[in-house]
Homo-oligomer: A and B are copies of this chain.
Amino acid sequence: MSNSPSNPKGTRDFLPSELSKRNHIIDILRKNFKNFGFLEIETPALEKNSTLLGKYGNEGDRLVFKILNSGEKVKKADVDSLKSNNLNSFTKSISEKGLRYDLTVPLARFVAQHQNDLIFPFKRFQIQTVWRADRPQHGRFQEFTQCDADVVGNNSIVQEIELIKLYDKVFSDLGFDDLVFKINHRLILRGIAEHIGLGINLNEFISIIDKLDKIGLESVIKEINDTFSNVSISKLESLLKDKSLSFNKISSILNDSPLAQKGLNDLNSIFDFISNSSIKNEIRFDLTLARGLNYYTGTIIEVSSKSNSKLGSLGGGGRYDDLTSLFNMKNTSGVGISFGLDRISILMEERNLFPDYLKNSFDVIIINFGIKYLKEIYTLIDSIRNQNKKVLIYPDKVKLNKQFSYANKHNASYAIVFGENEHNNKEIIVKNMIEGTQSSHDFSEIDSIIF
């Protein structure tokens, strides 16, 4: 028995006031995912290690939480591996399952497994917890929620367009109208690599470009110069130095690269459809957007706040051409976006975007004058609840000021008063706790009091 109970480091308890805010965001996400034609699925928290490992790189494998095999099975622990410091082998001998690390690999597994039961293109969304054995620190958790929408099995640019519209709809519903949706294309980055004379090592090139926002143009140029030989730095500089380079200008510079032209064409179709006048936030082509070293092969997108750039991205996504091939299902193009729940929540808090009604724990509180009076007005209580209002019966017959103070602490809007006096007068008193007014209703009206 611990003297001061606590949740593990890197995890969180959500008290009602915090959870109602998170759920406000999730409700808006879920509503819009559905209205954009996405269907919800859930996968288990537990996945086989054979599903999880080898998908996220060595560092990722290390960060997957492994479940200890149950009961007698731990006897198979490979002590020799432990002694020879082969921790992977040792772990393998005592663990067969792990906790979901993201929602993307489970999606690929799900689609490959259930391909005969799904109708393609398959538009799915998923809002579930993921776990990472990262060192806990401020704002980084071992257990957090991911909110993803993906389309699997279709390569129409309509999907990219709809996903950008979805971003705009969700964020404007949440109260944001000054975010920027940066957009780029992996083929353009590959085109640049081609253009500047860089052959292979595309991933290394992308990972350096990805740091541009953090370390600046000069350091990026230096690092590329140090890393690669025979690269035309001047060509790279002329592409990256001027953020306001027009789309057409870039297109003409990269006209020697068929890959880049394909990427530019895709973006052109998007910009032709979505202009900044047709969305509430801003869409912006950003040649330097790289989105890390992941599985993206086409369009990439990232959402950020103009006012709080330190916060990092509020969401991101892109097209990947062959995710399900991890599970032997070939030629299945996908595209998806995700929403960063925690960061969205932080920014909404900063800007006071959570609606006030979230603070109301209850709409109506029933003042308790004893069980016999409660029984007399229980049809009213039923009726208010049937009006979809939150009703709390104060649990004990105690002093009125204590009951009203409880009502105030919970921001109740109304209090119902029905005690001996009211019983004798055949009336029910409704106090408006916000305006400080009250109204009296004849007891015979009990079924028709509307809140």
Which residues in A have some Cβ–Cβ distance to B below 8 Å? 1-8, 11-16, 19-20, 23, 31-32, 34-37, 39-48, 50-51, 54, 62-63, 65-68, 70-72, 74-75, 77, 79, 82, 85, 87, 90-91, 94-97, 99, 109-110, 112-114, 117-119, 121, 123-124, 129, 131, 133, 142-143, 151, 154, 156-159, 162, 165, 169, 269, 272-273, 278, 326-328, 361-362, 368, 371, 374-375, 378, 382, 385, 388-393, 395-396, 406, 409-410
Residue pair B8, A46 in contact (C-beta under 8 Å): yes
A-B CB contact pairs (8 Å), 8 listed: A6-B113, A19-B41, A34-B390, A68-B68, A68-B91, A74-B90, A79-B79, A165-B378
Q: Which residues of B contact A44 (CB under 8 A)?
A: 7-8, 11-13, 143
CB distance from A177 to the nearest CB of B (A): 16
CB distance from A329 to the nearest CB of B (A): 9
Q: Which residues of B contact A94 (CB under 8 A)?
A: 68, 94
Q: Provided the pairs A47-B8, A375-B273 are in contact, do residues A41 and B14 lie with their beta carbons within 8 angstroms?
A: yes
CB distance from A101 to the nearest CB of B (A): 13
Q: Provided the pairs A13-B41, A328-B3, A385-B36 are in contact, do residues A158 and B65 lie with their beta carbons within 8 angstroms?
A: no
Residue pair A406, B119 in contact (C-beta under 8 Å): yes
Number of copies: 2
Q: Which residues of B contact A159 (CB under 8 A)?
A: 395
Q: Which residues of B contact A70 (CB under 8 A)?
A: 62-63, 65, 133
Q: Which residues of B contact A142 (CB under 8 A)?
A: 46
Q: Provided the pairs A94-B68, A143-B45, A273-B375 are in contact, do residues A393 and B162 lie with their beta carbons within 8 angstroms?
A: yes
Q: Which residues of B contact A82 (CB under 8 A)?
A: 74-75, 77, 79
Residue pair A75, B87 in contact (C-beta under 8 Å): yes
CA distance A71 to B90 in the complex (A): 11
